[in-house]
């Protein structure tokens, strides 16, 4: 056989195989069994957080139907319980777009090194059947999985994973906003963060001018009506947080009270062995009983600030090395509170300070803490292991910012 004849035979064989596979794909029918899992993954590129996940499954322990989808922020993964109708709808869309005709791996015409790849899988049972697709998938597959993912996103609504907020790219929309770090206030008269940069640089150089802020950057977040901007001073290795309530009037003292109270979130015991829980959203009470709001009163210094356990009123609180002291009402003529009620904080695993995973730390919050507590708070920032969704270790937006703020505060204190 000549070389020419050999290559002609190879081409005919390849064409025959391609035709055979195409006929096989066209002959596939919609699986008769119950859909048990749908999964889509995009990732594997140079950026470890450039990962997209959609997964509909039954929890292996509780057997409840669960949906996991990627959020808007890098590394954000949202998981919540859904109803059986979600499996039925997903099955309907698989049938509508004939995803069962997928031929598996589709070899791309060009191979891009270090680029992310995509794949989907669906499992059916009674009888067992699996569908999969990856590589350079044809348009009918993309159209189908995109409709499935749009449906999943509609189910998630405005849910966010713990500690994730909306990241804003650019500084549009900040003109005229009033900002505070919990100590001072200032305004951004234009769509520029230069005023915030200059105020941050002046924390280390009181004589700084606009000529000294070139080596500075920022990160912009928004949660509801509240804007957050973190200024990064790369020259002095300082990070500083400012917030604005979208132009709404805000009393600085009220904000400080709310932030300081947020430090209380966690589990406690008193000297009688009673167990208490304070949540990040301002609920408190004895464990196992109906929670009550932890009121933070606003007004002048003569007003009672806190209403606490068993309807007992406390004038103020102070963070201590092992918990918190609540001071009783001040009697007329007394300079100090009449009595003190101490609660000891109980570590929940390594989360002695859960607030650090849930909200941005303000300067007043940092000022409440000793150096030892700052280090403990650093250790309370969780390192998420997302390997079940092909992610490496990652932090949420709140956690990443708080790492920077805690590191800056420890540096400022010379630690």
- Give exposure, 325-359, as e/b (b: 16+ Cβ within 10 Å): ebbbeeeeeeeebeeebebebeeeeebbbbbbbbb
Q: How much is the pLDDT for 286?
A: 85
Rounded to a whole number, what is the distance in angstroms from the first to the last CA of the chain?
A: 80
Q: Are residues 380 and 260 in the same domain?
A: yes
13, part of any domain: no
CA 199/CA 184 separation, integer angstroms = 10
Q: Are residues 42 and 108 in the same domain?
A: yes
235, part of any domain: yes
Q: How much is the pLDDT for 26?
A: 45
Q: How much is the pLDDT for 105?
A: 92
Q: How much is the pLDDT for 99?
A: 96
Domain boundary, last residue among 244, 270, 294 = 244
Average pLDDT for consecutive 10-residue bins of the chain (415 residues)?
51 46 56 95 68 90 91 80 96 96 88 78 94 93 95 90 83 88 90 95 92 93 90 92 76 71 85 86 81 61 46 72 77 61 78 83 88 87 60 75 94 83
Sheet of 216-223, strands arranged across: 166-168, 216-223, 226-233, 238-244, 177-180, 185-188
- Residue 206: give the domain boundaries: 166-244
Q: How much is the pLDDT for 330?
A: 57
Which residues are CB-neighbours of 37 under 8 A, at least 6 positions away?
Answer: 55, 56, 57, 58, 121, 122, 123
Whether the CB-CB separation of 241 and 363 falls below 8 Å is answered with yes
Q: Are residues 267 and 407 in the same domain?
A: yes
1, part of any domain: no
Whether the CB-CB separation of 341 and 383 falls below 8 Å is answered with no
Q: Are residues 230 and 314 in the same domain?
A: no
Q: Are residues 191 and 221 in the same domain?
A: yes
Query: H helices within 112-177, ranges in order?
Result: 139-156
Which residues are CB-neighbours of 62 under 8 A, at least 6 positions away?
Answer: none
19, part of any domain: no
Domain boundary, last residue among 244, 269, 295 = 244
Q: Are residues 266 and 407 in the same domain?
A: yes
Q: How much is the pLDDT for 295?
A: 62
Domain boundary, last residue among 192, 225, 244 = 244
Residue 350's alpha-carbon distances to 28, 163, 231, 263, in angstroms, are: 52, 17, 29, 16
Residue 23's alpha-carbon distances to 20, 100, 101, in angstroms, are: 5, 13, 10
Query: Tokens 């009918």, residue?
Result: 140
Q: Are residues 216 and 263 in the same domain?
A: no
Q: Are residues 291 and 376 in the same domain?
A: yes
Which residues are CB-neighbours of 207 under 8 A, at least 6 positions away?
Answer: none
Q: How much is the pLDDT for 19?
A: 44
Q: For 316, phi and psi rounded to 5 degrees?
A: -160, 175
- Sort residue 176 into left (φ over 0), alpha (ψ -120 to 50) or beta: left
CA 83/CA 91 separation, integer angstroms = 14
Whether the CB-CB separation of 370 and 263 falls below 8 Å is answered with no
Please count the structural domains in the chain.
3
Cis peptide before 127 (omega within 30 of 0): yes
Which residues are CB-neighbours of 245 under 8 A, at least 6 positions away?
Answer: 178, 225, 226, 227
């Amino acid at each position: 056989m000549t070389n020419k004849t050999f290559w002609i035979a190879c081409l005919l064989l390849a064409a025959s195989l391609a035709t055979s596979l195409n006929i096989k794909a066209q002959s596939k029918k919609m699986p008769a069994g119950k859909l048990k899992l749908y999964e889509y993954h995009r990732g594997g590129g140079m950026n470890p957080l450039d990962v997209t996940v959609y997964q509909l499954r039954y929890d292996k322990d509780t057997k409840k139907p669960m949906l996991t989808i990627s959020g808007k922020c890098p590394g954000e993964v949202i998981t919540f319980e859904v109803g059986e109708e979600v499996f039925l709808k997903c099955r309907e869309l698989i049938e509508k777009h004939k995803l069962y005709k997928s031929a598996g791996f589709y070899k791309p015409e060009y191979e891009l090194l270090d680029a992310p790849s995509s794949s989907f899988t669906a499992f059916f049972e009674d009888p067992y059947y699996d569908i999969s697709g990856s590589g350079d998938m044809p348009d009918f597959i993309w159209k189908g999985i995109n409709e499935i993912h749009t449906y999943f996103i509609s189910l998630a609504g405005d849910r966010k994973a713990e500690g994730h907020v909306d990241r804003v790219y650019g500084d549009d929309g900040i003109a005229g906003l009033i900002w505070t770090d919990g100590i001072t206030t200032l305004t951004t008269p234009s769509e520029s963060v230069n005023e915030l940069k200059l105020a941050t640089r002046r924390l280390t150089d009181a004589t700084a001018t606009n000529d000294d802020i070139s080596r500075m950057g920022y990160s912009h977040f928004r949660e509801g009506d509240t804007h957050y901007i973190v200024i990064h001073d790369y020259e002095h290795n300082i990070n500083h947080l400012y917030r604005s309530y979208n132009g709404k009037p805000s009393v600085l003292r009220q904000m400080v009270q709310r932030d300081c109270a947020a430090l209380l979130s966690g589990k406690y015991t008193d000297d009688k062995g009673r167990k208490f829980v304070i949540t990040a959203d301002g609920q408190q009470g004895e464990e196992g009983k109906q929670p009550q709001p932890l009121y933070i009163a606003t007004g002048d210094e003569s007003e009672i600030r806190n209403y606490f356990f068993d309807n007992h009123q406390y004038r103020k609180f102070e963070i201590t090395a092992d918990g918190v002291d609540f001071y009783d009402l001040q009697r007329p003529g007394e300079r100090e509170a009449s009595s003190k009620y101490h609660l000891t904080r109980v570590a929940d695993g390594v989360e002695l300070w859960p607030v650090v995973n849930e909200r941005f730390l303000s300067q007043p919050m940092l000022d409440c803490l000793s150096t030892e507590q700052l280090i403990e708070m650093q250790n309370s920032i969780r390192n998420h292991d997302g390997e079940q969704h092909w992610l490496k270790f990652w932090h949420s937006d709140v956690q990443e910012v708080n790492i920077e703020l805690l590191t800056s505060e420890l540096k400022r204190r010379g630690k």
